[in-house]
Amino acid sequence: MENNGENLISIQDLKVHYQVRAKSLIDRISGNDERKVVKAVDGVSLEIKKGETLGLVGESGCGKSTLGKAILRLTEPTDGKVIYNNKDLANLSNSQMRDQRKHLQMIFQDPYASLNPRMTVGQIIGEPIKTFGLSSGTVEEKVQELMETVGLSRRFIKRYPHEFSGGQRQRIGIARALAVNPEFIVADEPISALDVSIQAQIMNLMERLQNEKNLTYLFISHDLRAVRHVSDRVAVMYLGKIVELADSKEIYKEPLHPYSKALISAVPVPDPEIEATRERIILKGDVPSPINPPRGCRFHTRCPYVEPKCKMEEPKLVEIKPRHFVACSRISPEQPYIENAK
Amino acid sequence: MNNGNILTVNNLKTYFQTEDGVVKAVDGITFELKKGETLGIVGESGSGKSVTNLSIMRLIPEPPGKIVDGEIIFDGKNIRQLSLEDVRKIRGKRIAMIFQDPMTSLNPFLRISTQLTEVTELHLNHTPEQAYQHAVKMLEMVGIPDAENRVDAYPHEFSGGMRQRVMIAMALSCEPELLIADEPTTALDVTIQAQILELIKDLREKLGTSVILITHDLGVVAGMTDKIIVMYAGKVFEQAPTKELFATPANPYTKGLLKSVPDPAHEAGTDLYQIPGLPPDVAHLPPGCPFAPRCEKVQGICRQDYPPFVQINENHWSLCHFAKETYQESLQEKEAKDGK
């Protein structure tokens, strides 16, 4: 869906830093208690447009889940703004924020851990309706309606989560998120824990609901194939920063940042003919620790195109092509391809 | 006598006794693996792919599990009939295994060196000194930087990808003839997954090891394997050389699986193909074809009679009443696609 429309959420220079204590007890006792800071999200600016699906990809530890939670204030942001409806979510009081939660919901990765095992499906889905006093009819009617919307039989209303499969549990999670008629949903790895044949069902369900209810999604996943399928635009994150942002078609066809290139080329293609011939970019090493991220460009320790200046200055997100933003100091609108960079 | 096959599995059946009744986790699996070949086993959770391989290693917990029938011929010997002591001589030495989760399959209390030397001291009669040197050499081979100093570290000091490398080093330290990799990259990030797959490929070529690669990711098997088995509800649903399986599948389940992977060539926004319904409860299979309740091509006969294992050509088999028809349909689809 092409959408140049208005912004629903505007994230400005959002930061989430965690304090971690020194490792050992001895260090703490001896006063060697240097507090370290994990910069999980370190200055992210993003606009999420009404009705779109923005995909957020990156490897574990890059801060993508933290970013998703910080938008909804499930994790307190350290700095920055999240503008929604002319309000800065990052600076609302708890009760004001609570009021906004009926517009902003979340779907979690693990359908086993995110449902209370002692509540029935009816109670789980009904709880937000009761909390926000939203239902016009009886809560049970509304719950049954929601269950049908997500493809669960209304007969299951008295059952407990353990009686359902992973895919069905994810449907319960989705129904719970929908119970308050939200506008915006953060879906944090909603299909990672599911079987292949079930992943397709959940992706299709989410797409159908988006069309029916005009939802906006932030779709967080490490599965680039899934993200490509559901997203209108995609943001690639590395060590707490957005390194590339573009339309989904564009970024998969022609990624510009060397990290996005490697990430996309690393995805195995289910076609033996292509697999046999294509060149894969293999990155060396692991993602560095976010406690002491590398100076300059954070990717420079693994980048095949690194040069001295990359270690000095931190590149900014620049519009290299129309609607295609990249943070890499070696490319520019005049010279968008790093292969040609001198 | 072993006609070039390193491993022959014949009609293997592994059942589990549960409160719910007998679960036929693996129910009549047959395949051959030639020296140097790589076999992919694909299936969703509960399809029996891991149980197949635990059976080969004789690692099925008994009770409740039991290999009730079939043969597992490794290098001319039926593993099922060997004494546990003889199995132990093979396990870890001639057949080695890598597991999905490198965090839980290494002992967190022991140094990497201790865990690596244990294998070679046992199987290759290395002296502690030899074993230690060998451990360093193996870590270098799997690409652990600064192996000499890292060998004495504990598992928690390594990242996930590095731990998987340690697991591979351990599995390969006796130069096994057969390596079983059970979802070796599922817990890893894509860039690390690419590193590990590349490593397995390299080592396979260097050492001539045969590999069984178990995964749910069709992308992974596409680039790594010579032939593929697709499992569903403990049965082999389709078996074919890799290229042929992807190009012209002869089973509706395989076709559905292939179609439900988001295809990079397809535009976003189009609905993704989905296999309806849920993976089956293996304790309560329907009569007839286990896939019938989810199959879009289902006919009356599918719900009544168990399907035959149809041979399509020399190396291609499919468990379906309409295997030949499905194959023809795939052929036509392929021609239409190539013709364009």
Mean pLDDT, chain B, whole residue set: 87
Q: Does B306 touch chain A (CB under 8 A)?
A: no
The alpha-carbon gap from B272 to the nearest alpha carbon of chain A, in Å, equals 6
- SS3 of residue A337 by DSSP: coil
pTM: predicted TM-score of the whole model, two decimal places = 0.83
When CB atoms are compared, the residue of A1, A195, A283 closest to B45 is: A195
Tell me how many residue pairs between chain A and chain B have CB atoms under 8 A apart: 124
Cβ count near B298 (within 10 Å)? 17
Asked whether A244 and A43 are in contact (CB, 8 A), the reply is no
Going by C-beta distance under 8 Å and a sequence separation of 6 or more, which residues neighbour residue A266?
A280, A281, A282, A283, B190, B191, B193, B194
Separation of alpha carbons A111 and A342, rounded Å: 49
The alpha-carbon gap from B82 to the nearest alpha carbon of chain A, in Å, equals 36
Question: pLDDT above 70 covers what percent of chain B?
Answer: 96
Judging by DSSP bridges, how do beta strands A53-57 and A216-221 pair with one another? Answer: parallel
Going by C-beta distance under 8 Å and a sequence separation of 6 or more, which residues neighbour residue A79?
A13, A14, A15
Asked whether B223 and A268 are in contact (CB, 8 A), the reply is yes
When CB atoms are compared, the residue of A204, A271, A272 closest to B272 is: A204
Residues of chain A with pLDDT under 70: 1-5, 21-25, 27-28, 31-34, 135-136, 342
At residue B267, the pLDDT reads 56
Do B271 and A282 count as a contact with CB atoms less than 8 A apart?
no
Residues of A in contact with B274 (CB under 8 A): 197, 200-201, 204
At residue A122, the pLDDT reads 92
- Read off the pLDDT band of B144 (50, 70, 90): confident
Nearest CA in chain A to B294: A197
Going by C-beta distance under 8 Å and a sequence separation of 6 or more, which residues neighbour residue A329?
A297, A309, A310, A313, A315
At residue A2, the pLDDT reads 43
pLDDT tens, residue by residue, B55-96: 998 888 888 888 889 999 998 889 888 888 888 888 888 999
> What single DSSP character describes residue B91?
B
Do B223 and A266 count as a contact with CB atoms less than 8 A apart?
no
Interface of B with A in 222-241 (CB under 8 A): 222-223
The alpha-carbon gap from B189 to the nearest alpha carbon of chain A, in Å, equals 6
The alpha-carbon gap from A271 to the nearest alpha carbon of chain B, in Å, equals 6
Separation of alpha carbons B229 and B217, rounded Å: 13
- Please name every residue paired with A295 in a beta bridge, in sequence order, or none if there are none: none
pLDDT tens, residue by residue, B243-281: 999 999 999 999 998 888 876 655 555 677 888 887 887
Q: Distance of alpha carbon B100 from its chain centroid, rounded?
A: 11
Cβ count near B48 (within 10 Å)? 25
Complex confidence, ipTM: 0.75
Q: Does A54 touch chain B (CB under 8 A)?
A: no
- Best CA proximity match to A197, nearest among B240, B237, B225: B237
What are residue A284's phi and psi, to 5 degrees?
A: -90, 145
pLDDT tens, residue by residue, A29-70: 776 666 778 888 999 999 999 999 999 998 887 888 899 999
- Name residue, tokens 């635009």: A233
Q: Indicate the burial class of A169 (C-beta count within 10 angstroms; 0-12, 13-18, 19 or more).
A: buried
> What single DSSP character describes residue A205?
H
Do B219 and A60 count as a contact with CB atoms less than 8 A apart?
no
Cβ count near A26 (within 10 Å)? 9
pLDDT tens, residue by residue, B100-129: 776 778 888 999 999 999 888 988 888 999
Q: Does A231 touch chain B (CB under 8 A)?
A: yes
At residue A246, the pLDDT reads 95
Residues of A in contact with B283 (CB under 8 A): none
At residue A256, the pLDDT reads 94
- Name residue, tokens 């468990």: B319
At residue A342, the pLDDT reads 60
Residues of B in contact with A252 (CB under 8 A): 264
Q: Does A91 touch chain B (CB under 8 A)?
A: no
Do A195 and B161 count as a contact with CB atoms less than 8 A apart?
no
Separation of alpha carbons A108 and A221, rounded Å: 11
Do A267 and B190 count as a contact with CB atoms less than 8 A apart?
yes
Higher-scoring residue by pLDDT: B217, A120: A120
